[in-house]
Amino acid sequence: MASILIIDDEASFAEGMADYFAMEGHEAQVAGTLEQARQHLESVTPDLVLLDLMLPDGSGLELFDRFQEQTPGRIVIITGHSGVKQLIGGLAGESVSYMKKPIEPREFEGLLNSIQVTASKGGKSGPATEQFGLLVGESPAMQKVYEQIRMVAPTDSTVFVHGESGTGKELVAEMIHRESGREGRFIPVNCGGLNKDLISSQLFGHEKGSFTGADASHAGFFEQADKGTLFLDEITEMPMEQQAHLLRVLETGKVLRLGAQREKTVNARLVAATNRDPKQAVRDGALREDLYFRLSVFPISLPPLRQRQGDVRLLAEWFLAQLNDTQDTERCLASEALQRLERHTWPGNVRELKHVIHRAWIMAENDVVSVPENIDDSIDAQVEGISVGRSIADVERDLILTTLEHFDGNKKETAAMLGVSLKTLYNRLKSYEEHQGKA
């Protein structure tokens, strides 16, 4: 049985989906606003979240701040606009997928089956071939990584993963968690994205009243990962003072919340990662030497894509197959496209390849997908979408105005496509005009 949260203000759609899931033996709850969604999330972390972007009290994207700390098994963004993928495609990685309204209940069958299969396996995988859980690759370099994961996962050892950007360090960390059999959660944290002033609270928690604005007690990432796995990505971005606190937690197995008098024991397995040479990071003063030795009990070095012979073709076809599956298409890569992909050096590694395939799929004029002779041309032509410094409001504004332009200013068709009421659309457009008038 899967736990499902439907966040959508269209009551007939939400209740209809909830009734369908209930008939299939699942537990489904409905939230029509952001506030109701937050209240539901206080008590449960769903296996599946169906998320509408346009809600009466704000954008569904605002919940992704919550999802960074409380990660559902799967998030499906419900949208009436195909361009939303290009706008927010990189927001939350592989756990996010998209469906366009109207949606038939049977479209969720495969998704629900995959959730239940993962749960029934308890995260265990068979012998490595082309795919090892979340990881795809049959090269000798990747087979070595698979074997290292199998060796270290059942232990409580800390793991230090290093590799170039885009090689899949978070996927490796999650596979270590899945193979470990730990009953707790997998909590991924990007150290570069932590608030410099609140990092202690975010990592170790705080008590009510411990600082201005601390209106309630808060469990930090370590406590959230109790009996599970905490993944600290880009560990070299963590301030040196906090690295000292981290080292103490690793050595004692206890955390001290801000404002607390007594330490609390936690059983969180740590996996850390960096895209820098760890030894050079120590020399540069970005990583404490004692923390480096503590983390490096079991190091895993991820190979760049250019050193994974045969995996480029395999990954390209894998990414295209995923697009075909989610978009109900039957496209294939042209032979010359595969040759060009295999000749490219891939400085952005697997992430870069995935983006190139996605753009090639979008640009395809028929069922045969091509890539330009100079692959860098396709990399440079990025949709603005999510980027560092862009607000959720800006992304939502782009989505609304792009849809309005597509329908030549027809607000009724625009609202229908976005799945919002005309009143909501008019309110958004009015706010944009007022903001522009003040600028």
pLDDT computed for residue 384 by the predictor = 46
CATH number, domain containing residue 58: 3.40.50.2300
Final residue before a domain boundary, out of 52, 85, 120: 120
CATH number of 282's domain: 3.40.50.300
Q: What domain range is 313 assigned to?
A: 307-371
pLDDT at 383: 38
Q: Output the 3-class SS for 161-195.
A: EECCCCCCHHHHHHHHHHHHCCCCCEEEEEHHHCC
385 within a domain of the structure (yes/no): no
Q: Is residue 237 part of a domain?
A: yes
Which of 80, 99, 120 is the last residue before a domain boundary? 120
* Residue 376: per-residue pLDDT: 64
Is 90 exposed, middle or buried (CB count within 10 Å of its CB: 0-12, 13-18, 19+)?
Answer: middle
Q: Within a domain: residue 417?
A: yes
| 173 shares a domain with 104 | no
Structure tokens at 394: 């800006």
- Report the distance separating Cα 215 and Cα 195, nearest Å: 18
- pLDDT of res. 175: 92
φ, ψ for residue 246 (rounded to 5)? -60, -45
27 in a structural domain = yes
Mean pLDDT, the chain, rounded, equals 81
* Environment class of 167 (CB within 10 Å of its CB; exposed 0-12, middle 13-18, buried 19+): buried
One domain for residues 270 and 318:
no
Q: What is the 3 state secondary structure string of 284-330?
A: CCCCCHHHHHHHCCCEEECCCHHHCCCHHHHHHHHHHHHHHHHHCCC
- Write the CATH number for 315: 1.10.8.60
In a domain, 213, yes or no: yes
107 and 198 inside one domain: no
Pairing state of beta strands 368-369 and 332-333? parallel
**Domains of the chain: total:** 4
State which H helix or E strand residue 67 sits in.
Answer: helix 64-69
pLDDT of residue 44: 83
Residue ranges for the chain with pLDDT beneath 70: 79-95, 97-98, 100-102, 104-129, 197, 376-390, 406-407, 416-417, 419, 435-439
Examine residue 379 and state whether it is found in any structural domain, yes or no. Answer: no
Task: Say whether both 255 and 324 belong to one domain.
Answer: no
The answer as to whether 380 is a domain residue is no
What the block records as the tokens of 275 is 């895209």
346: number of Cβ within 10 Å = 23
pLDDT, position 188 = 92
Residues 295, 299, 302, 307, Cα dihedral to 10°: 140
pLDDT at 107: 59
pTM above 0.95, yes or no: no
Say how many C-beta atoms besides its own lie within 10 A of residue 12's C-beta. 8
In a domain, 382, yes or no: no
pLDDT of residue 220: 85
Domain co-membership, 45 together with 165: no
pLDDT at residue 87, rounded to an integer:
56
